Amino acid sequence: MEAISRESYLAYAGLKKTAELQPIYDKYARVLGKEAFELTLEAFQGAGEGTEEKRSARLLLEWEIESQAAKPLAALDEREIEWENTAVVRIPDGRVIQYQAVPIEISNTKDRPSRLALDAARAKLVSKEHAPLRLERLQREKEYIESLGVAGDYNSSFEAVTGISLSGLALSCEQFLRDTKSMWDDALREALRSSLGIKPSQARRSDALALFRASQYDDAFPGREMEAVIRRQVNEMGIDPTADGRIIFDLGEREGKRSRAFCSPVRVPEEVYLVLRPHGGQSDYNTFLHELGHALHFGYASPDYSFEYRWLGDNSVTESYAMLFDHRMQDKGWLLRYSKLGANRVGKFLRTAGLEELHFLRRYCAKLIYERTLYSGELEWSSLPDLYVSLLTGATGFEYDPADAFVDVDPRYYSARYLRAWQLQSILNEQLTSRFDVDWFRNPSAGPWIAQELFAQGQRENAEEIAARTGVNALSFEPLARKVEALLES
């Protein structure tokens, strides 16, 4: 895992042209051999429910399945990483833009015709070159996991190993989309009119990038001060933002660096990288806080824990910690203390934050519903782009492009982890507020408590178990809907 993580960090950070994954899988072939898989499956099936052995075996089995599938796909992954790092988009005005930088360029382009032209050129390239790579990977991964015979089809295998009910979560997503539709339609209509000067019938996904970039607030979130401001906040919370030097910040511009920020735990907890390619303004602060939540989680994980509890587990947990930090951008007290918004603009910014929150919740609900159909095999692969456009456009109000139907799929139902993380972070925020007051983010007692009670535990417990520790019996979208409504009324 250290070797794979380091190689991935170097490639996605733009420090290498591609990741050399196949030699690593060859070197550690026995770890991912048939005997290792059967041993892990036997341990899982033989362990008693509710025992520590069952918990450990479940995490190891899920990792073994994912890794067994990744090994034969390593060559394809290397091709895709190299393509992403070297591909360029050529637009009608003659400019040539690195593929990885296109989302940044779109979000910062105020002229709408130019923005649409750039996205059209991107989509054309994706349809021709990127989507075929991703489609092949999805097909081969599905076939391989189903061939392992864990629990029938792909979806059943995922549910059996993770304990997450995809059908139950999809039903909750459908209900959330219905419950928030009128609120979303009203808020989006006004935001598009006032910020972009367009009607909902005109909105495309590239407009969403520009809308949520919220460049009108750039002066309140200066890039040159971002790291110092957020370091100050974490210090005021009573912990070291670098986890005593174990976290390395990689925050600068670099050709080949992914536009999507990430945290790479190369050695847990000793060596963790936080990687961000600047977009500008509030989006960078939001992203930095999110990835810092991940980095602190890994950097403060107990070094005495076994491999599976430090590295593996329900990623809904680490995502909830990341969201716990990025949601400070929805906190009036945090904004007044650490941004330059001032009291006269904070209410309007919070309304923008509420709109963005509802957009992403609705987007990920639609993604989960779409991906469940994709992996089920109910539809031909050729029919999925139409379903993708219908579901994502219907949920968000922004017209999606069929070219992205296979590119806009996170591996192994990561959409489910995000949705559960949203639910868990709302519970954790309420607990921290109750224990350390509304400004827990600057309470010097809060940081050590979070580091010990949450981060140090790795992901030994799943999202439901952590929620239960706070006295909440079930994860739910209801607190999120209430919070969004309050933000929109700020």
Q: Nearest CA to 74 among 34, 36, 39, 32?
A: 32
- pLDDT attached to residue 152: 83
Q: Find all residues with CB under 8 Å of 115, minimum gap 6, and list them.
A: 106, 109, 206, 207, 210
Tokens describing residue 323:
């969201």
- pLDDT attached to residue 328: 97
CA distance 451 to 457: 9
> Residue 189: which CATH number?
1.10.1370.30
- pLDDT attached to residue 411: 84
CA distance 227 to 232: 8
Q: Find all residues with CB under 8 Å of 408, minimum gap 6, and list them.
A: 367, 388, 392, 400
Quote helix, strand, coil % in the chain, to nearest 5. 70, 5, 25
Asked if residue 154 lies in contact with residue 375, where contact means CB atoms within 8 angstroms, the answer is yes
Which secondary-structure segment (H or E) carries 273? strand 271-275
Q: Which residues pair with 121 in a beta bridge?
A: none
For the stretch 374-431, pLDDT in tens is: 999 999 999 999 999 999 999 999 999 999 999 999 888 999 999 999 999 999 999 9
According to DSSP H, which parts of 47-180 are helical?
Answer: 52-70, 74-86, 102-108, 112-125, 131-147, 154-162, 166-179
For the stretch 326-367, pLDDT in tens is: 999 999 999 999 999 999 999 999 999 999 999 999 999 999
- pLDDT attached to residue 251: 95
Asked if residue 278 lies in contact with residue 223, where contact means CB atoms within 8 angstroms, the answer is yes
Angle, helices 112-125 vs 205-213, to 10°: value is 130
Asked if residue 281 lies in contact with residue 218, where contact means CB atoms within 8 angstroms, the answer is yes
Under DSSP, the state recorded for 73 is T
Into how many domains does the chain fold?
Answer: 1
- pLDDT attached to residue 10: 96
- pLDDT attached to residue 151: 85
Under DSSP, the state recorded for 164 is -
- pLDDT attached to residue 214: 87
Give the side-chain half-sphere CA count within 13 A for 15: 9
- pLDDT attached to residue 69: 87
Q: In degrees to the nearest 10, what's the CA dihedral of 175, 176, 180, 185?
A: -90
- pLDDT attached to residue 470: 87
Residues of the chain with pLDDT under 70: none
Domain assignment of residue 374, given as a range: 2-488
